[in-house]
Structure 1
Amino acid sequence: MGTFKIEGGHQLKGKIQPQGAKNEALQILCAVLLTPELVTINNIPDIVDVNKLISLLKKLGVKVEKLAKGSYTFKADNVDLDYLESDQFKIDGRGLRGSIMIVGPLLARFGRGYIPKPGGDKIGRRRLDTHFEGLIKLGAKFGYSKEEQFYGVEAKRLKGTYMLLEEASVTGTANILMAAVLAEGQTTIYNAACEPYLQQLCKMLNRMGAKISGVGSNMLIVDGVDSLGGTEHRMLPDMIEIGSWIGLAAMTKSELTITNVSWNDLGIIPETFRKLGITVEKQGDDIHIPAHTDGYEIQSFIDGSILTISDAPWPGFTPDLLSIILVVATQARGSVLIHQKMFESRLFFVDKLIDMGAKIILCDPHRATVIGHDYKSTLKATTMTSPDIRAGVSLLIAALSAKGTSTIQNIEQIDRGYENIDERLRAIGARIERIN
């Protein structure tokens, strides 16, 4: 198990380039199964979860060739469907949450798709009902082995239909969408997720020959086609990484420039950090964060009540950045209520911040009130363990701002979502060492 050793309390300076988007990559990579033709994908992040999915595609028989750093070709012209029923697949498929999105493409193109109960972050219940209820509405027959926790769907030909999703699940929408593009007739998906990464998937599928309208809205209209062709696609920069670097700059009183952020796809992320008093400057397609040597002050609502920051489906604030917002608030002037609506275990990492001296009241599994120190009392170094990707990076930011030397264990969780994070942080002046 790897460990980061971090000497905190140092200002950073320089430019940092965000990696390709993790959550987009997991969708886009599954979409290569929809065609036997060549698909080229660029700006793929070199992270554990994405590499696991690429390995899974190889075992399925997809021909994968690395062209350069972050650029690959995929050709799914000889998919090994027998692998789906092997014992090895039941092990491999459990390795990451994103594996669930191979089911829709396999079902649509080959008439059957299987998956063991997938893994991922331990942040609370993450049910799969939206995925399978949508596929059933398209005409699939659903099966589940409780003993093996193994799911399966089969259909000779999917048929388009109208469906209203119970929740605007990003991965659920992606899975259903990838099945619907090869279904017979028209499919309407209402209450669809509309994140930029889902929009990217729609645009890619349309370039492959799909007929999807309503892209960017919560109602997608899909006219099924008989087959799809090859294409080339480039990932957006990772908005969660961009938010992480904004928070890092503020907490360490550092001047940082985050380059090539695709401003138009950031939604309310910059404005949410501004509500904490952080200066977020637009310079072309870059974000510049000046050194907050005098700190930053949390806004109140117009009536003077305490600011509340909560997560919501896009275009609301992404839940993946609430952990970052929470840790950044620990050194602000003022107080804020963090309301994590979607996952009931995601705030449990705050006990580590409290150990470091943060003033946080965990109201219940979903809400925490943060009373900022305004740098009058710095966080203290400690030893901690990363519970999931986003909490792990939040603890890393806390450690970089803290007085003394901290250690973070179980950094494999951080590596699942952040590419070479220690090397990239050292390049802007961080004192961080990886110990294996």
Structure 2
Amino acid sequence: MNKHRKQQIFVNSNQTMNQHSKLPHVGDTIFSEMNAVASEVNAINLGQGFPDYQPDSELLDAVCQAIQRGPNQYAPMIGVAALRQAIAAKVLALQGHAYDAQQEITVTSGATEALSASILALVHPGDDVVLIDPAYDLYAPVVTLAGGKPVRVAMRPPDASRPGFRLDWEAIGNAIHEKTRLLILNFPHNPTGLTLSEADLDALEHIAAKKPFLILSDEAYEHIVFDGQAYFSPASRPMLAARCVLVSSFAKTLQITGWKIGYCCAPADISKEIRKVHQYLVFSVNTPLQQGIASFLGKTQAVQALAALYQRKRDRLVRGLSHTRLRPLPCAGTFFLLADASALGMDQEKRTAIRLAKEAGVATIPVSAFYADPDAPAANHQLLRFCFAKQDATLDAAIERLAKI
């Protein structure tokens, strides 16, 4: 076979593969892109959401002891019993809803797997799934893999009268109809920092009373809520809990993003379907990590102190940004802060983020990346997302650079 013929077959093969891709429009995430830019220019990385410090030493000791003690073989498919019981106790104390640790709680490989398994288990081809923009970038691709159709409903963006994002429950209700299988919520919200109020749950109950959809509630930042406010989960309302999958993770709660230990709580009939998918995605999750976390949760107040820790960091970044050309927006929860960068020009957010990384040496994430079309005018509000889950020295160094813009 001649060289030209081989090259033509290779080209045709690539074209065929692209035509049959299940996610033809998905490439590298914005997090990978901005991490690469940060690495290239040696920028301080306040983009991707992970701490730059070690977790609690007592937690590390608990896991080391679990490794030495064993077992180090497969955990039960649904998770180590002690950890499931600790999760049940935590949710009961926080939200007042009692989940059965045997039938209704499943330990997963991070919240990512819990979300993916839930969507793949519950969404059927042709189902609509309502996402609230700006939406975390995992949701839409997995909905597509399940054969569902993402239906995007935008939050109301900041304006002269309100400095932060806010939910549009009328628009959300109008988007839900007989083909809607799932509404995905993410509160405390990444990237906006918005949290749910009692009034929000009232609005959700009003919609749910009329329409039989399921709720997937991504609550990875449930313990990071500021200014003395409580966090309200849909699971705190019996009517909503009956149709809700509550997903969370120890990654943010215990500063262990690399361990990938999450969980989902749901009524037994829904959990049964999620477990069918979970067992073929990962089967079970790291045994000694589960044992160590369960032991640590039983003898620590670290979870209760989390909000105060991050509120100090939030306030430090807010004070610092007040001396720059960036204007911080309100942040009620999570460890992310949005800042208005319009004083730097009215370019698209991604280009502003890249320019900021290259010229100021600080990497951020453009909020437009959390919309269906990041290039659309409706997705660009001159907002950048900063992660403040960093050492004080890291935040101070970033602020010093930003003050020079």
- Decide: shared fold, TM above 0.5: no
Greater per-residue helix proportion: 2
Interval of TM-score (by shorter of Structure 1 and Structure 2): under 0.3
TM-score of the aligned structures, taking structure 1 as reference length:
0.25
TM-score by structure 2 length?
0.26
Question: Is the strand fraction higher in 1 or 2?
Answer: 1
